[in-house]
Amino acid sequence: MKLHCGTHTLDLTSPQVMGILNTTPDSFSDGGSYYAGGGLDLDLVLQRAEQMVRDGASILDIGGESTRPGAEPVSEAQELERVVPVVEAIRQRLDVVISVDTSTAAVIRESAAAGAGLINDVRALTRPGALQAAATTSLPVCLMHMQGQPGTMQSKPEYTDVVAEVRAYLDQRLQACIDTGIARERVIYDPGFGFGKNDEHNLALLRNLPQLAPDDIPILVGLSRKSMIGRLLDRNVDQRLPGSLALAMLSAQRGAKIIRVHDVAATTDVLKMQKLIDHPL
């Protein structure tokens, strides 16, 4: 299985590591990490991007709008200011697939023009104009399931059958993409762990990961440092690496093709060891 991302092609026969690079002041784990003197410091962003590529990331996911529980939307202008210069700078400096974590049509268009190779949308292209904007880029799109919106999504989420409902939603968004001119081979599914789900919902989705997508649709999983790990293991954000690594390996074993993480080097080691076990030298 291959994914064509602009000028790059990803081989998904082995799981790929997506490094998280949030250019927001308020993301739950690394918010504000790249701000100095009151503004975004591109040098700090590039240093982190270079380190993640050295550590094994084949994709860097740039996010300019926090989607943590309780987060408020940002303006289009703010998001453009936080994302597009970063895409341009990384594109000039590094040979890596640049993913943009956005739901906004203008950010989709401008990021693609700046050199992005993947659109990663937690709202599954439901904002006005997003589907059409994504279609015009000819880039792959990751469609995520979220019950509600970031500001309210963790307020008592309920499902009759979380696995069936998440799959049905993603299938419906796939059809919307196809109807808008986005080819099936450009689509990725993300179950949206922690986005309008309680711990049991998240665990059920992970147990049944292969059921969440057709065989020809790759699955992206984002469980790194999630609050679920904190609740289940009683760990603060800076103590969640072992739990994150366990979930990364379990996700890969269940068929995830892209693992979205904060801790690239450690995750890359885990996946390399798994590959050696599954495919001996």
Active site residues: 226, 260
- Beta pairing partners, 20: 61
Contact 199, 231 (CB under 8 A): yes
- Beta pairing partners, 190: 144
Residues 6 or more apart in contact with residue 56 via CB below 8 angstroms: 17, 264, 265, 267, 268
Cβ-based neighbour number of residue 39 at 10 Å: 10
CA 131 to chain centre: 18
Give CA–CA dist 193/167, Å, rounded: 13
Phi, psi of 245 (to 5 degrees): -65, -40
- Cα–Cα distances in Å, from 262 out to 102, 114, 140, 247? 18, 24, 22, 13
Q: What is the DSSP string of 200-233?
A: HHHHHHHHTGGGGS-TTS-BEE--TT-HHHHHHH
Contact 255, 210 (CB under 8 A): yes
Phi, psi of 4 (to 5 degrees): -90, 115
